[in-house]
Amino acid sequence: MTTPVLSVRDLCVEFRTRDGIVKAVQDVTFEVEAGATLAILGESGSGKSVTAQTVMNLIESPPGRVAGGQILFEGRDLLTMSPEERRKVSAEGIAMVFQDSLSALNPVYTVGEQIAELLRVRRGMKRKDAWNRAVELIARVRIPAAADRAKDYPHQFSGGMRQRIMIALAIALDPKVLIADEPTTALDVTVQAQIMDLLVQLQRETGMALVLITHDLGVVAEVADQIAVMYAGRVVERGTIFDLYERTAHPYTRGLLRSMPRPDRDDDTLWAIPGSPPNLLDLGPGCAFRSRCDAAIDLCSIERPEPLPVIVGDPRVSACHRREEVLSGRA
């Protein structure tokens, strides 16, 4: 068993709003090893992006606040470091790719300048060397005519090409962990497939860990080793991709997988999870999914289920009172 390069334990993040405190992330635990891919799957408001932003220290405070937990990078807790130390450790070790590449890049500098600047500041490279390295990186993300394209501004690239530039920027400092927050959501399926292929190849070449934040069950199935499913700020189920797709131990994951249109069975009606995601201001006691759950029992509205292993010794964890029955198909 290798030690995880990134390990998040019991992370809690809150936001103070006019209407009260929103507990956006609660007791979130996951880890990812070098060379492995963890997918964090969730809908909007599930807390998946806030989790990623907290790891990257991008939460604005106030209104945001880390209310508890640890973020261990190579065994050291980022949350207890001094701001300077954390900045240094995360800048070198953890990089992030965002969904919206147009607003994540600076519109008034060429893409080559932006990558070169990072190398000059962080690596102390000379102007010329930094530029050459930037061109290399642009070629590495498979953009044709890299030396010329380095002189272009972000708006001169198509969405897919710009996302490649974001990836070049992210891998410039050889990070140990790459967090990709919905990297292909705004892209066409054809371009999405290219970008996912590129991420997987780069991961193979560099051995970095990949944390993929997404709502797309198809993308997850193609690249992830481990998956953590989030709902209303909590991880409701966690395990290996093969285990979860074969059989789930949480009714929410099960509902998501069942609601996908499947060409192999031409059902007339799709399975649909009733209702809509809950308001995070008003979760109440018990399980946040209970009102939409087809397996809910009285206990679910009284006591919140803790994430526990379904089978002793099995890495799969489910936060459901009826996890064993759900897994075995009895609920």
Residues that bind another protein (CB under 8 A): 43-44, 158, 160-161, 188-194, 196-197, 215-222, 224, 241-242, 245, 252, 255-257, 259-263, 267-274, 276-277, 292
Burial of 292 (0-12, 13-18, 19+ CB in 10 A): middle
CB-nearer residue toward another protein: 2 or 44: 44
Q: How far apart are CA 249 and CA 246, in angstroms?
A: 10
CB-nearer residue toward another protein: 171 or 219: 219
CB-nearer residue toward another protein: 31 or 243: 243
- What's the closest the beta carbon of residue 219 comes to another protein, in angstroms? 5
The encoded tokens of residue 301 equal 């509205």
- What's the closest the beta carbon of residue 194 comes to another protein, in angstroms? 6
Q: How far apart are CA 39 and CA 211, in angstroms?
A: 6
- What's the closest the beta carbon of residue 242 comes to another protein, in angstroms? 5
The encoded tokens of residue 322 equal 């009826």
CB-nearer residue toward another protein: 94 or 198: 198
Q: How far apart are CA 205 and CA 207, in angstroms?
A: 6
Q: How far apart are CA 16 and CA 25, in angstroms?
A: 13
CB-nearer residue toward another protein: 124 or 144: 144
Closest CA to 93 of 31, 177, 203, 190: 177
3-state helix, strand, coil in the chain (%, to 5): 40, 20, 40
- What's the closest the beta carbon of residue 121 comes to another protein, in angstroms? 32
- What's the closest the beta carbon of residue 259 comes to another protein, in angstroms? 4
CB-nearer residue toward another protein: 74 or 222: 222
- What's the closest the beta carbon of residue 115 comes to another protein, in angstroms? 21
CB-nearer residue toward another protein: 7 or 214: 214
CA distances from 290 to 173, 235, 303, 314, 326 (A): 45, 15, 11, 25, 14
Closest CA to 170 of 141, 132, 131: 141
Question: Angle between the 111-123 and 159-171 helix axes, to the nearest 10 degrees?
Answer: 10
CB-nearer residue toward another protein: 2 or 269: 269
- What's the closest the beta carbon of residue 214 comes to another protein, in angstroms? 10
CA atoms within 13 A on the CB side of 319: 26
CA distances from 116 to 40, 126, 191 (A): 31, 9, 26
* Secondary structure of residue 109 in the 3-state scheme: coil
- What's the closest the beta carbon of residue 255 comes to another protein, in angstroms? 7
Distance of CA 78 to the CA centre of its chain: 18
- What's the closest the beta carbon of residue 69 comes to another protein, in angstroms? 26
CB-nearer residue toward another protein: 82 or 269: 269
Distance of CA 21 to the CA centre of its chain: 24
